[in-house]
Amino acid sequence: MIGGGIDYFFGWHATYIFLFLLVSFVLISMWKCLPETCLPAFEKRNMLSAYYSLLSNPTFDAYLVIVIGGLAGVVVFESSSGVCWGEY
């Protein structure tokens, strides 16, 4: 909607200028306003044990399988829709 309005009033080049300004604003805002989350004394051993505890959780594993299955369905649909409708 915003891109269509910008294109209508200012031309298609202006949409890329708008996107550049928007991304610059978001990047600078994140750089200035978000604090650092990586603690300096964080060890890799603790991180690996955290991944092990996460991946050994059956609830997380079930949700992970659901998400992977859903995304795989989207990929299969996207790749086969052109073949089914005769568009290569």
**What are phi and psi for residue 11, nearest 5 degrees?**
100, 165
Tell me the per-residue pLDDT of 26-58, one tens digit each, with 9 for 90 and over. Answer: 999 999 998 877 767 656 667 778 888 889 999
Statement to judge: residues 3 and 26 lie in one domain: yes
Q: What is the model's pLDDT at position 87?
A: 60
Q: What is the model's pLDDT at position 85?
A: 67
- Rounded to an integer, what distance in angstroms lies between the CA atom of residue 79 and that of residue 36? 40
Statement to judge: residues 55 and 75 lie in one domain: yes
Statement to judge: residues 26 and 56 lie in one domain: no
Tell me the per-residue pLDDT of 61-82, one tens digit each, with 9 for 90 and over. Answer: 999 999 999 999 988 888 887 7
Angle (CA) 19-20-21 rounded to 5° is 90
Counted domains in the chain: 2
Q: What is the model's pLDDT at position 37?
A: 77
Statement to judge: residues 20 and 56 lie in one domain: no
- Does this model's pTM top 0.85? My answer is no
Statement to judge: residues 30 and 47 lie in one domain: no
Helix axes 2-10, 12-33, angle to 10 degrees: 130
Statement to judge: residues 46 and 82 lie in one domain: yes
Statement to judge: residues 12 and 52 lie in one domain: no
Domain range for 78 is 40-88
